[in-house]
Chains A and B, each alone.
Chain A
């Protein structure tokens, strides 16, 4: 394995975050982040597909030829998405009623193709699986943060409808932060998604810059 687990996780969650750093998969991001719960649902569904596709593609990486790799990846991803869609619909129907909307959207999530191309087609199955988990969680994190920000400003709640997604035991997550708040429609509509994403990307880069500066300041002293 050419990368340590730690590096893979740091990459997926922070340094190479699908949304905030790579700016991939913005279409599904804009579409579903009206609430934190929707962001969480989309994030988890995508993570499952990402893990499966990374694993499958890594196993096949030595027989996939360079010239036709993209169509092969797409066939594999689309097949996995359809399988997940059918399985959820048949066996976890309650969850499907909440997530169903998101699953078909995963096919057009270029982050999955991105991980297949830049990681799974080069690394072993175990590392690829871990990369799927890390990148998926990074994506989920970004979606929940964007959804949470839009939801708090837009409707004054947080994780509304979480018990529908995760089961009644999670109803404690549903918070009304501002009682009697009339809402800021702009935040729930697509422009709000762009505003929040832009601001969060700025914050992310700023933190990143600060961290790099701090690391650079420490290194000479350590040496």
Chain B
């Protein structure tokens, strides 16, 4: 049972060899496990991304693979560039999905928003935030229907002043006890709508799939 007696185990070379062997074995195991799981994990992550993109373009009928149809536009809300995923029907771009990020009370709020080709919001979902539970977390679709108040809004049916929370003279409700959270998110989504308008040509002008792929490279 005892491979080495306790006197041998107290020697420095033994301890060094033991640590080295443990580390080597651990890395080998992890390396092997990584090779086994990495392709599956990548697949799962892609499926997750597709699901979150799909969630913000409800009712949009499209026939392409969202993940393989993306372009990067200059500028962004809370980022230097924005990756735009495009939904197409028969080659024509019918909706665009991208991420925006704004400042909340507890930190950054990241949301995914969908925009149809008229520049109207199809839906918005918050994907990560650090807002106060019970107050600011009403921005989550699971906690409150507040996030649906963005649906259908665009630059043509809501003026500059309207794109604010009620406290600031706008159209969107704040929550009792939490104004900073919805204020930050409304500003971020307004920024997203502006971004869509600024790059409307680039995003929605129907390019063939071939061209898109080249641009993505």
Please list the residues of chain A having a beta carbon within 8 angstroms of any beta carbon in chain B.
34, 62-68, 71-72, 75-76, 78-79, 82-83, 86-87, 89-91, 93, 97, 154-155, 183, 185, 188-189
Contacts and interface: CB of A to CB of B under 8 A. Distances in A.
Nearest to A155: B134
Interface of A is mostly: helix
Contacts of A91: 37, 40
Contact of B133 (A64, A72, A89, A189): A189
Interface in B3-53: 3-4, 9-10, 14-15, 18-19, 22-23, 26, 29-30, 33-34, 36-37, 40-41, 44, 47-48
Chain B interface helix/strand/loop/mixed: helix
B211 interface: no
Nearest to B44: A93
B135 interface: yes
A90 B40 contact: yes
Contacts of A76: 22, 26
B37 A87 contact: yes
Nearest to B176: A182
Q: 7 nearest interchain CB pairs?
A: A90-B37, A90-B40, A65-B9, A79-B26, A86-B37, A93-B44, A68-B15
Interface of B: 1-4, 9-10, 14-15, 18-19, 22-23, 26, 29-30, 33-34, 36-37, 40-41, 44, 47-48, 132-135
A183 B177 CA distance: 13
A67 B133 CA distance: 46
A78 B44 CA distance: 24
Contact of B132 (A79, A155, A185): A185
A189 to B, nearest CB: 7
Contacts of A87: 33, 37
A72 B20 CA distance: 9
Contacts of A79: 26, 29-30
Counting chain B CB atoms within 10 Å of each CB, which of A65, A89, A91, A189 scores highest?
Answer: A65
B41 A86 contact: yes
Contact of B19 (A71, A78, A97, A185): A71
A87 B33 CA distance: 8
Nearest to A154: B134
Nearest to B19: A68
Given A82-B33, A189-B133, 17 more contacts: A34-B133, A62-B2, A65-B15, A65-B18, A68-B15, A68-B18, A68-B19, A71-B19, A71-B22, A76-B26, A78-B26, A86-B33, A90-B40, A90-B41, A90-B44, A91-B37, A155-B134
Nearest to A186: B134
Given A62-B2, A183-B134, A86 B22 contact: no
